[in-house]
Amino acid sequence: MERRRLLNAGAGFSLAAVAGQTITPGAAHAATTPAATTAPADGGTTTAGHRCSGTPVSTFGTASLTAAIVGTTVLGDHAYVVARGQNPTLVGEIDLTTRRLGRTFRLDRGDGGWAATVSGGQVYIGTYPFPDIHRIDPTTGTVTRIGTIGPAGGFVWCLTTAPDGTVYAGTSPRGEVWEYKPQTGTLRNLGGAMAGEQYVRAIAADDRYVYAGTLPRGFIVAYDRTTGVKRSITPTPYGGASALLARGGRVYGSFGRSIVDLAPDGSDAKVIPIPAPERIADAMTVTADGTLYCVGRPSGTVYRRDGDTLVKVAAPATGDEHRALVPLPDGKMLGAVGSGRLWWLDLPTGKAEITELIDIGLSGPDPVQSIAYESGGTVHVGGHYSLTTHRPAHGTSQRIRIPGEPKTLRAIGGKVYAAMYPSTEFLEIDPRRGKVRSMGFIENEQQRPTDMAYVPEADLLLVASAPPAGGLKGALTLVERSRGRLTVHKDVITDQSVMSVAVDDRIGHRTAYLAGDTWGGGSVTPTRPNATIVAYDLRRRTVLWEATPVPGNASLQHIEVHRGILYGVYKRQSGNWFAMDLETRTVLRTGKLPSYGEISVHFGQVYASVFGGSVYRLGPLGTGDDEAELVLGGLGDGWYNPPQLAWERATWHAWGVATRALARLRLDPLCPSGTPSQITAQYEAVLKGLLAN
């Protein structure tokens, strides 16, 4: 699910909140700076003027280029595709005959739109993180915002058109169905589909009813289109909805690992299991002869229904997500792929042709998923469906397609290791050869990898993960890199996601520390009041102890350990941070940041990089008041996930993002680089340059 905006909506970051601060190194700060004992390559003297010369931020072009798409619909001989993560929302018009990009349309706001449909020769788009409905008139080229149908941070997940042209929408987080009548211009809220279901994830309509498919449990709720009266027609919940159709007097739905075929009143239900390799069917259609087709995820295989089974037809785009499946008048099938591809499939022969949207010009700078630095000056950036390897000194970059979103990366021995959302696949990538190898799947009712740590002595990677919506139990996965073996420990923090994992940095210790989130995957009531820390013995593979650092905080975002002190930052309450002595489990310090993000340790200093484009120094704890100190601000909003830092080993520089440009950041704690309000304009100019290109 697209959650970054929703999660960050309550962060409360304000440039004004930190503007005007005077940043000066305190006595404790100066005493603990490693300059006196360590000689980083870019500053071996304590003379501030020398250390702080030069620019604090150097940019190196777009960090990650993407053509990823979300909503897709077809009108006549044109497809309309909504780009993902482009602000304001970008819609491309693709000529299906020439397979070229024609016009592009910019909506007035938003980052994208999962929902798209056609009514009366007009194209309708439902957007996020403002849940708006927009109309595009292809004849005049005009774009109109019809209305907003939910709170800021919400989504319009699905749109459909009834036979009379009425448009229906499904939303989150209130799980509502809305109706728009183009003939009269009226917009009506039909209300929430089912108590406890926050998502109407799929929608369909016929002459009498509009049908809502919910998530996380997976109900089909039928609304009478005249009276608005609703009732569940689901014999039993089948798992979260992903697609829904109403055709020929039947209702077809993709729910969990099943395709459901039932009458409009819920009777005569037939349940068809999807093939074993698949987790869901993420796009469906019915052809003129009544044959049902669907696409499985993660394989990307097209299946045809044959009685009570699904028969493989072809796999035009393997390992990808699908946004739409559309029969064309010439008998071919059109598929729209999340990574930014369209394919045309000849059903009798199974032969397919593919057009890359990035090659025809529908692309832009990607909100960054993850980043890793490799000795020798190579920087790896994870984006939607891609890993981009940059060699800034040579001015080169290489983009490798990968299946999904790399939530966290590690560069080890010339290879890059990526934990993927939503498949939970663990990948080994050889950037020099352009090779991608699967090391397996975490699975075990997990969906979102959240963090990764490495234990060099054991050649062991530790991966934290969260369940999908409706689940509470996260996992810690141990990846034996040389053997290629994954071992999953589910519910290692009882009824919490595992959001972060850190390894004790003291010699002789083999303990991992895990940070929890009581909200799990969301859309479910937590069973525990506070997020906790767990100490985990990597030898015995057992929990040693559990502690609540600061009561009243439901979700930890990230932790790191330095010299027996565990530093953590909360997501709920956003920006709260603490430092805890691991031996006594005593909290030594608490504080407040403007938002949340990730913590890292470099040259004995503890940093927090947070949403809103700022980097703060949290420690080590000294003799002063130990307030968080702003080291660098004004980096803009270029991250899809919580902001990360990829440190160079021998300098005060880390690699990150300025707006959506790859950036080398000087983070010397003796050289704070102004306040966000003073330098934001510089990076807004960078973003304008990226968008112009």
Categorize the per-residue pLDDT at 277 as very low, low, confident or very high, splitting at 50, 70 and 90: confident
Question: Please, is 316 exposed, middle or buried when counting C-beta atoms within 10 Å of its C-beta (0-12, 13-18, 19+)?
Answer: buried
| Per-residue pLDDT band at 40 (split at 50, 70, 90) | low
Cβ neighbours, 10 Å, residue 52: 15
**Terminus-to-terminus CA distance in the chain, angstroms?**
29
* Token output for 13: 């970051």
pLDDT of res. 30? 31
**Is it the case that residue 383 has pLDDT exceeding 60?**
yes
DSSP notation for 234-289: -SS--S-EEEEEEETTEEEEEETTEEEEE-TTS-S-EEEEPPTT-SEEEEEEE-TT
Q: Name the CA radius of gyration of the chain, rounded.
A: 25
Cα gap 503→133, rounded to integer Å: 47
What single DSSP character describes residue 583?
A: T
* pLDDT tens for each residue of 474-484: 999 999 999 99
- Rounded to whole angstroms, the Cα distance separating 150 from 148 reads 6
- How much of the chain exceeds pLDDT 90, in percent? 86
DSSP secondary structure string for all residues of 65-122: EE--EEEEEEETTEEEEEESS-SS-EEEEEETTTTEEEEEEE-SS-SEEEEEEEETTE
Q: Six-digit token pair at 624?
A: 């002063």
**Cβ-contact 328, 336 below 8 angstroms:** no
- The tens digit of pLDDT for each residue in 588-626 reads 999 999 999 999 999 999 999 999 999 999 999 874 567
Provide mean pLDDT across the span 284-305: 96
**pLDDT value, residue 675:** 56
Q: What is the pLDDT of residues 619-647, one digit of tens each?
A: 998 745 678 999 999 999 999 999 999 99
| Residue 48, pLDDT above cutoff 70 | no
Tokens found for residue 581: 């002595």
Quick one: DSSP state of residue 452? Answer: E
pTM of the predicted model, to two decimals? 0.89
Number of helices (H) and strands (E), helices first, in the chain? 5, 58
Q: Which amino acid is at 141?
A: G
How far is residue 483's CA from residue 300's CA, in Å, rounded to a whole number? 28
53 band by pLDDT with thresholds 50, 70 and 90: confident
Residues 6 or more apart from 259 whose CB is under 8 A from it?
252, 253, 271, 272, 273, 274, 281, 284, 292, 294, 305, 310
Band of pLDDT at residue 31, cut at 50, 70 and 90:
very low
How crowded is the C-beta side of 508, counted as CA atoms within 13 Å?
2
Q: Tokens 């593919």: give the residue.
A: 354
Burial of 265 (0-12, 13-18, 19+ CB in 10 A): exposed
Separation CA 658–CA 612 (nearest Å) = 11
Contact between 657 and 643 under an 8 Å Cβ cutoff? The reply is: yes
| Predicted pLDDT of residue 504 | 85
DSSP code of residue 531: -
Q: What is the mean pLDDT of the chain?
A: 90
Give the closest residue to 404 by CA, choosing from 277, 337, 319. Answer: 319
374-394: average pLDDT: 96
Of all residues in the chain, the percent with pLDDT exceeding 70 is 89
> pLDDT class for 25, splitting at 50, 70, 90?
very low
Over residues 94-147, the pLDDT tens digits come to 999 999 999 999 999 999 999 999 999 999 999 999 999 999 999 999 999 999
pLDDT the model gives residue 507? 60
For 644-680, give the DSSP string: --EE-SSSSEEEEEETTEEEEEE--TTS-B--HHHHH
Give the pLDDT score at 680: 41
Identify which of 218, 326, 212, 222 has the alpha carbon closest to the alpha carbon of residue 264: 222
How far apart CA 416 and CA 307 sit, in angstroms, is 44
The tokens describing 392, both together, are 């800034």
At position 512, the amino acid (one-letter code) is A
pLDDT of residue 626: 75
| pLDDT at residue 18 tops 50 | no
Per-residue pLDDT band at 35 (split at 50, 70, 90)? very low
Sign of the C-alpha dihedral computed for residues 79, 641, 409 and 511 taken in this order: negative
Between 7-11, 62-66, 428-432, 447-451, the lowest mean confidence (pLDDT) is in: 7-11
Assigned token pair, 282: 């993420």
- Grade residue 41 by pLDDT with cuts at 50, 70 and 90: low
Find out whether 655 and 646 touch, Cβ atoms under 8 Å.
yes
CA distances to 159, 190, 238 from 233, rounded to whole Å, are 20, 17, 12
Alpha carbon of 148 to those of 109, 124, 619: distances in Å?
12, 13, 44
Model confidence over 185-230: pLDDT tens digits?
Answer: 999 999 999 999 999 999 999 999 999 999 999 999 999 999 999 9
SS3 28: helix
Give the closest residue to 200 by CA, choosing from 258, 243, 146.
243
> What was the pLDDT predicted at 51?
77
Q: What is the C-alpha to C-alpha distance for residues 332 and 96, in angstroms, rounded to an integer?
A: 12
